[in-house]
Chains A and B, each alone.
Chain A
Amino acid sequence: MISLHEGEKILSVNRKVWFAFAPIYGSAIGLMTMPLIVLPSIGVLLPISINQPFLGVMLLVAIFWMWAAWIWLFLSLLNYYLDIFILTNERIIHIEQRSLFNRVVSEIRLSRVQDITITIRGFLPTTLNYGNIRIQSAAEIPEFVFTEVRYPEKLKELIMQEHRHAVAQEHLLSRPVNPATK
């Protein structure tokens, strides 16, 4: 779980658009259903294979095949589902799950955000309203890029709004206290 600071609230959790994962999902379903086609075909071509012990061995191989495809589906789902772009009222957190043992977590304070660029390019992104968002900052990490995010314009507006709040709050805190008001 993401550890939040005191008073920090998650405003938006964004993942890549679901059809970025659709080809993998389709492939995994195809791989899992493959034994349902292959086993009867073998039975037709080699009638001896529908008798024991060959049938049992083939079923065992089919179960291991389906199990491996299922694991592969979840491994791919892990890479998709744990790629997250989180906006809180204090910072932006970008988590990139590159592979099972390769994870990059970076964050910037909202007050350090300088520019935000969104790119919606192509027929599908335009009709289905998804695109890339690039955030430039004054921090050590010069820019964040999050690809294939849903409703990038809304997200940009939300970030800009929270950026204005964060800057106003920082100004308020850094302003010297007037001794006359004490």
Chain B
Amino acid sequence: MTIGAFFIFILFSAILSLAAIIIALHFWRYGVQGDKSKLLSMILMLSCIVFFGTALVIFITVPWNLLEQIVGGI
């Protein structure tokens, strides 16, 4: 259960992080002089770090063994 949950966590995080990086790179490369595209790129990357950190903290605090016992019991 723990390994499976960890695998799913890593997979989802990787997909969303990769999408964020690609979008941020687009903003960074294709902005026009003097516009807010670099700021948007920074906001996206920083917010993704916050989302990942929050998800990691929640993932660590979940008692996966307990869940395995309950689900196994069912």
**Do A and B assemble together?**
yes
The majority secondary structure among interface residues of chain B is: helix
B33 touches A71 (CB 8 A): no
CB distance from A110 to the nearest CB of B (A): 18
Give the B interface residue count (CB, 8 A): 34
**Is B40 within 8 A of A74, CB to CB?**
yes
Write the nearest CB–CB distance from B22 to chain A, whole angstroms: 7
Q: Is the CB of A67 within 8 A of B16?
A: yes
Which range contains the number of A residues in contact with the other chain? 20 to 34
Query: A63, B51: Cβ atoms under 8 Å?
Result: yes
**A36 touches B (CB below 8 Å):** no
B44 CB, nearest partner CB in chain A, Å: 5
Asked if A66 CB lies within 8 Å of chain B CBs, one says yes
Whether the Cβ atoms of A100 and B55 lie closer than 8 Å is no
Asked if B12 is at the interface of the complex by the 8 Å CB criterion, the answer is yes
Which B residues touch A66, using CB under 8 A?
Answer: 51
A34 CB–B CB distance under 8 Å: no
A100 to B59 Cα, complex, angstroms: 31
21 pairs across A/B with beta carbons < 8 Å?
Answer: A1-B32, A4-B33, A10-B32, A53-B63, A67-B48, A67-B51, A68-B16, A70-B48, A71-B19, A71-B20, A71-B23, A74-B40, A75-B23, A78-B27, A82-B26, A82-B27, A82-B31, A86-B32, A97-B26, A97-B30, A100-B22
Supplied contacts A57-B62, A74-B44, 5 more A-B pairs, CB within 8 Å: A1-B32, A52-B63, A59-B58, A66-B51, A77-B40
